[in-house]
């Protein structure tokens, strides 16, 4: 099996979810985000905080009456988080910020989980390019709460009409 995808990202094989479930080769791999940037170009990968052996994305959050920081898994499809400070509430929207410079992460599209939910964009290069970014919902517990390639989000929105 290949260790790196065509785009140079490390590939981690997925285990079979159910015995006998056929999966395509593409569905058997997950991508690992090794560099992630805020809109101002700060790298938000925290090499000291690892989730499942991989450095995670450090993100600051705020909502009325609560603020804090958490680490989001850098493995595609992994919902694991480490709460560094504050409390996240299931079903509640938080505004997400860079932990270094404080800039808010921009919205890629609305998420369908709640009327005010956003799929925020995190760049994979210091200069934000929505074609080279990941996205995830800013509502805790949403099924879109893990990193998804921004192009996949846009395709999904066009197909579903959200």
The per-residue pLDDT for range 78-129, each reduced to its tens digit, is: 888 999 999 999 999 999 999 999 999 999 888 889 999 999 999 999 998 8
Could you tell me if 43 and 2 lie in one domain? no
Task: Looking at the structure, tell me whether residues 20 and 82 fall in a common domain.
Answer: no
Calculate mean pLDDT across residues 140-144: 88
Are 17 and 46 in the same domain?
A: no
Statement to judge: residues 39 and 111 lie in one domain: yes
Query: Domain of 49?
Result: 32-160
The pLDDT assigned to 17 comes to 39
Domains held by the chain: number? 2
pLDDT in tens, 4-56: 666 666 565 554 334 444 445 445 556 888 999 999 999 999 999 999 999 99
Determine the pLDDT at residue 78: 85
Better pLDDT: 61 or 5: 61
Residue 157 in this model has a pLDDT that exceeds 50 = no
153 φ/ψ angles, rounded to the nearest 5 degrees:
-65, -45
Say if CB 147 and CB 76 are below 8 A apart: yes
Same domain, 115 and 49: yes
* Residue 12 dihedral angles phi and psi, to the nearest 5°: -110, 120
For residues 42 and 40, what is the distance between their CA atoms, to the nearest angstrom?
6
Query: For residues 44 and 61, is the Cβ–Cβ distance under 8 A?
Result: no
Residue 109: predicted pLDDT: 85
Which pLDDT value is given to residue 128? 85
Distance of alpha carbon 75 from alpha carbon 77, whole angstroms: 6
Q: Encoding tokens for residue 62?
A: 């705020």
Pair 68, 112 in one domain: yes
In this structure, what token pair is assigned to residue 5?
A: 């995808």
- The predicted pLDDT at position 8 comes to 65
16 and 87 together in one domain: no
The answer on 90 and 66 residing in a single domain is yes
Rounded to two decimals, the pTM is 0.74
Do 12 and 37 share a structural domain?
Answer: no
Residues 6+ apart with CB under 8 A from 10: 3, 4, 31, 32, 34
Q: Which residues of 3-29 are buried (b: 16+ CB within 10 A; e: fewer)?
A: eeeeeebeebeeeeeeeeeeeeeeeeb
The reported pLDDT for the residue numbered 105 is 95
Q: What is the pLDDT of residue 19?
A: 44
Based on the domain organization, do 18 and 48 belong to the same domain? Answer: no
Closest-CA residue to 73 (of 41, 39, 32): 32
Q: How confident is the model at residue 148 (pLDDT cuts 50, 70, 90)?
A: low
Q: What is the pLDDT of residue 131?
A: 82
Q: Looking at the structure, do residues 84 and 41 belong to the same domain, yes or no?
A: yes
Residues 97, 40, single domain; the answer is: yes
């Amino acid at each position: 099996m290949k260790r790196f995808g065509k785009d140079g990202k490390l590939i981690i094989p997925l285990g079979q979810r159910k015995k006998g479930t056929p999966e395509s080769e593409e569905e058997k791999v997950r991508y690992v985000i090794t560099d992630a940037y805020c809109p101002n170009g700060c790298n938000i990968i925290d090499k000291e905080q690892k989730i499942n052996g991989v450095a995670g994305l450090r993100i600051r959050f705020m909502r009325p009456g609560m603020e804090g920081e958490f680490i989001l898994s850098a493995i595609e499809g992994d919902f694991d988080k480490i709460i560094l400070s504050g409390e996240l509430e299931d079903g509640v929207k938080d505004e997400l910020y860079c932990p270094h410079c404080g800039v808010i992460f921009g919205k890629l599209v609305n998420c369908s989980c709640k009327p005010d939910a956003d799929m925020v964009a995190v760049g994979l290069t210091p200069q934000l390019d929505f074609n080279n970014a990941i996205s995830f919902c800013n509502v805790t517990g949403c099924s879109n709460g893990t990193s998804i390639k921004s192009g996949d989000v846009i395709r999904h929105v066009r197909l579903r009409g959200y």
